[in-house]
Amino acid sequence: MKPASASPGGELCIMDASGHQQLTWRLDRSDEISAARAAFEHWLTQGYTAFGALTRTQAKHAIKTFDPAMEEVILVPRIVGG
């Protein structure tokens, strides 16, 4: 549970062989938001699909643009039939 004084923000989870990489940002830090947006757009061009929600408890849906108001965004690699 975040302390009351902490600025709200979000988390970007990028799935990989290590489980997932995490990138966090706070709404009052434009540099962190820019870094998260750059990572988001980079992985989308690599074929990843992003799923996000405004709060962690909500069901996630596919998104195409980065929204720093989202608390959690998960990037899933391109799918392939087995």
Report the interface residues with another protein, using CB under 8 A.
13, 15-20, 49, 51, 56, 59-62, 72, 74, 76-82
Whole-angstrom Cα distance, residue 43 to residue 47? Answer: 7
Distance CA 28, CA 5 (A): 13
Smallest distance from the beta carbon of 43 to another protein, in angstroms?
Answer: 12
Give 1 or 59: the residue with its C-beta nearer to another protein. 59
Q: How far apart are CA 68 and CA 81, in angstroms?
A: 32
Of the pair 31, 61, the CB lying nearest another protein is at: 61
